[in-house]
Amino acid sequence: MSIQDIIEGKKQWRAHMARVKALPPDYRIVYKEIQKYLFKVGPIDLPEGPLLPGIVDFFEEGVAAGKGVLELIGKDVAAFCDDLVKDSRTYADVYQESISGEPGTAEK
């Protein structure tokens, strides 16, 4: 990874977080909980993947439609997150492989 890649990545992350900060307070709170959950158990490609920006897109559409955040995702944030990553390779998969000693056994 070059310096330019790092700089570009930081610019993209700052732009992403500016979009998050523009959301109403209830949406921001839920986004931060989703982000925290996904960084713990989420897909391996989360930092550079389309999932987090896609959630912001989804939330911006919900705001534009006048919906509350829980109307969009339901009352169980963890279940919403689990559904988002159900077909992705997660850190939990990598951990399971490391303790079982069989690479690729936990792939979905």
Domains and CATH numbers, the chain: 3-100 (1.10.1900.10)
At residue 108, the pLDDT reads: 46
Q: The whole model's pTM is what?
A: 0.79
Alpha-carbon distance values, 17 to 24, 40, 74, 81 (Å): 13, 19, 23, 19
List Cβ neighbours of 27 (8 Å cut-off, separation of 6 or more): 59, 62, 63, 69
Packing angle between helix 3-21 and helix 25-41, nearest 10 degrees? 140
Q: What is the mean pLDDT of residues 29-44?
A: 89
Give the model's confidence band at 36: pLDDT under 50 very low, under 70 low, under 90 confident, else very high. very high
